[in-house]
């Protein structure tokens, strides 16, 4: 297991290198000039040239890349073009926000998805199954930002149960933290729960028809034990693959939902960086997001091995 983790972490190095080269090249191809955005309408040509020089934009692309890379390997992702904020600090400040949003969304997706999938599989072609199918279709069809707006209108603006915007760190108040992440996490998590529910239902229906399930029932094991211990554990193997993909989707979705709820996470930072063409910030964000996705996949592999001994590395 340790070897697997080490191998995956080592594989991260060339991957991040390739991603950094691509991110650097693509952002440098952008047609507009960040100097224009900084100086505004009134900047003179002389100021324009001075600022380009100061920001190092007159250096050849390769030189700029290696200068950046030299610092990046030491944990310094550079400084924002627009203020004195360190990219590393800015990303680390927002990472817990996006991670906690994604974690709660994933929890909602897993709990709701598995419960709905199991319920539907245990009562095939019943009203429960149809309700779960309709719910899953609706959940997958509805865009999460739209669902977020509906949740805000009902539960924040009208009922005042939750705040409409913002994020409270868990260190400030666990209760306020929970209130601040509930609506965005629901907006994000319910669409993923729909995908998980479909997968769980399909896998469970297959597993419940297996001989070993019949044998377990014949031995007099309780229905709960048969479902949870034998059927669900085996049905979860294909579900884990979907889960990995869904968590990646949740990370991407968080970037949009953060806008709806004015949450200061990586998504808000990314959108501001794109608008301002803050190239160092964009590069830092791309690297961190790629790193997160790779870590999610690694965690999935570990979970896969946990559920399926045959899949564990020797």
Partner 1 sequence: MKKWITTSGVIAALALGLAGSPASAQGSGTFKYAEQVKLITMDPQKQSGSGVPFLRPAYESLFEKGPDGENVPLLATEYTVDGLDVTIKLREGVSFSNGEPFNAEAAAANINRGVEIGIVEGLKTVESAKAIDEYTLGIKLKEIDPAIITTLCYTGGMMIAPSAMADPALDRNPVGTGPYVHSKDESREGEVQVYVPNPTYWDKDMIGLARYEVWEIPDDTARLNALKTGQIDAGNWLSNPQAAIIDKSPDLKLIRNNGGLNYHVIISDREGTVVPAFADPMVRKAMALAIDRDAFNQAIQFGLAVKSFQPYGKGDWAYDPALEGVYEYNVEKARELMAQSKFPDGFTFDMPSIPIYQPRLEALAGFFNEIGITMNIVPVEPGTLARRSRTTDFPATNLVWNTVTDPKFLALRYIYEDAAYNPFKAKPSEALLALAQEGLTSVETDVRAPIYHKMAAQLADEAFLIFVTNAPILIGVSDDTAENPTVRYRYGEDSINLRGLKAND
Q: Which of 100, 105, 244, 283 binds partner 1 (CB under 8 A)?
A: 100
| Binding to partner 1, residues 62-81 (CB under 8 A) | none
Nearer to partner 1, 13 or 172 (CB): 172
170 contacts partner 1 (rule: CB under 8 A): yes
Q: Which of 133, 140, 264, 297 binds partner 1 (CB under 8 A)?
A: 264
Pick the closest to residue 94 from 249, 251, 293 (CA basis).
251
**Any idea of the CA torsion for 263, 265, 271, 274, to the nearest 10 degrees?**
150
Q: Which of 13, 22, 63, 157 binds partner 1 (CB under 8 A)?
A: 157
257 contacts partner 1 (rule: CB under 8 A): no
Nearer to partner 1, 137 or 173 (CB): 173
206 contacts partner 1 (rule: CB under 8 A): no
Query: Using CA atoms, how far apart are residues 231 and 191, in angstroms rounded to an integer?
Result: 25
291 contacts partner 1 (rule: CB under 8 A): no
Query: Using CA atoms, how far apart are residues 219 and 215, in angstroms rounded to an integer?
Result: 6
Query: Using CA atoms, how far apart are residues 143 and 141, in angstroms rounded to an integer?
Result: 6
x/- letters, 103..142, toward partner 1 (CB under 8 A): x---------------------------------------
Tell me how far, at minimum, the Cβ of 78 lies from partner 1, in Å: 15
Q: How many of the chain's residues bind partner 1 (CB under 8 A)?
A: 62
**CB atoms closer than 10 angstroms to residue 236:** 21
Tell me the helices (H) and strands (E) count for the chain, helix number first. Answer: 13, 0
Residues facing 79 on adjacent strands: 86
Query: Using CA atoms, how far apart are residues 34 and 17, in angstroms rounded to an integer?
Result: 25
**CB atoms closer than 10 angstroms to residue 31:** 5
List interacting residues with partner 1 (CB under 8 A): 1, 5, 30-33, 36-44, 47, 82-85, 89-90, 93-97, 99-100, 103, 149, 152, 156-157, 160, 163-167, 169-172, 259-262, 264, 268-269, 271-272, 275-277, 299, 302-303, 305-306, 312
């Amino acid at each position: 297991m340790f070897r697997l983790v080490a191998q995956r972490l080592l594989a991260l190095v060339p991957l991040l290198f390739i991603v950094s080269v691509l991110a650097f090249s693509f952002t440098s191809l952008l047609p507009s000039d960040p100097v224009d955005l900084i100086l505004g309408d009134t900047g003179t040509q002389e100021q324009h040239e001075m600022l380009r020089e100061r920001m190092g934009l007159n250096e050849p692309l390769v030189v700029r890349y290696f200068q950046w890379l030299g610092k990046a390997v030491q944990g310094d992702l550079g400084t924002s073009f627009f203020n004195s904020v360190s990219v590393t600090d800015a990303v680390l400040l927002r990472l817990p926000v996006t991670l906690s949003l994604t974690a709660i969304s994933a929890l909602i997706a897993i709990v709701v998805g598995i419960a709905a999938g199991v319920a539907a599989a245990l009562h095939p072609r019943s009203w429960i199954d149809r309700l779960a199918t309709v719910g899953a279709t609706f959940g997958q069809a509805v865009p999460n930002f739209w669902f977020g707006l509906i949740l805000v209108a009902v539960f924040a603006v009208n009922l005042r149960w939750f705040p409409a915007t913002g994020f409270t760190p868990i260190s400030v108040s666990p209760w306020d933290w929970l209130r601040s992440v509930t609506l965005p996490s629901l907006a994000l998590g319910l669409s993923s729960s729909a995908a998980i529910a479909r997968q769980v239902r399909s896998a469970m229906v297959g597993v419940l028809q297996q001989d070993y399930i019949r044998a377990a029932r014949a031995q007099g094991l309780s229905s709960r034990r048969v479902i949870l211990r034998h059927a669900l554990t085996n049905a979860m193997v294909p579900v884990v693959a979907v889960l990995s993909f869904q968590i990646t989707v949740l990370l991407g979705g968080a970037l949009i939902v953060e806008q709806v709820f004015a949450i200061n996470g990586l998504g808000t930072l990314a959108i501001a960086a794109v608008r301002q063409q803050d190239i160092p910030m964009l590069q830092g964000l791309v690297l961190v997001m790629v790193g997160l996705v790779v870590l999610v996949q690694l965690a999935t592999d570990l979970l896969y091995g946990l559920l399926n001994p045959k899949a564990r590395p020797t």
